[in-house]
């Protein structure tokens, strides 16, 4: 038969080995924080890609303008 002392030892051992509700809540909160950070990072990457597209478009327009204007101004322009 198992004694009360052995049950207490087993209970303490289980607390060290198995996850408790509190442990689960802490992990869930940590994962929520990580998920929020990743979502913000993904939004920033998306925004940067969109900005890069706009900058490339504007840069191409400037290059086209310089290509057209440089002969009229008597200047050479190489890409």
Question: Is residue 56 in a domain?
Answer: yes
The answer as to whether 53 is a domain residue is yes
pTM score, two decimals? Answer: 0.59
Q: Is the pLDDT of residue 79 over 70?
A: no
| HEC assignment per residue over the chain | CCCHHHHHHHHHHHHHHCCCHHHHHHHHHHHHHHHHHHHHHHHHHHHHHHHHHHHHHHHHHHHHHHHHHHHHHCCCCCC
Token reading at 78 = 């190489």
Q: Is 32 left (phi over 0), alpha (psi -120 to 50) or beta?
A: alpha
Containing structural domain, residue 78:
44-79
Establish if 28 belongs to a structural domain: no
Q: Is 36 within a domain?
A: no
Q: Is residue 65 part of a domain?
A: yes
Residue 6 belongs to some domain of the structure:
no
pLDDT tier, 75 (very low <50, low <70, confident <90, very high otherwise): confident
For 19-42, write each residue's pLDDT tens digit: 888 889 999 999 999 999 999 999
- Three-class SS state of 1: coil
């Amino acid at each position: 038969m198992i004694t009360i002392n052995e049950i207490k030892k087993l209970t303490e051992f289980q607390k060290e080995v198995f996850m408790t509700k509190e442990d689960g809540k802490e992990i869930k909160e940590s994962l929520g924080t990580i998920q929020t950070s990743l979502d913000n990072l993904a939004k920033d990457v998306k925004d940067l890609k969109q900005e890069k597209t706009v900058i490339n478009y504007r840069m191409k327009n400037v290059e086209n303008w310089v290509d057209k204007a440089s002969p009229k101004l008597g200047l050479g322009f190489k890409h």
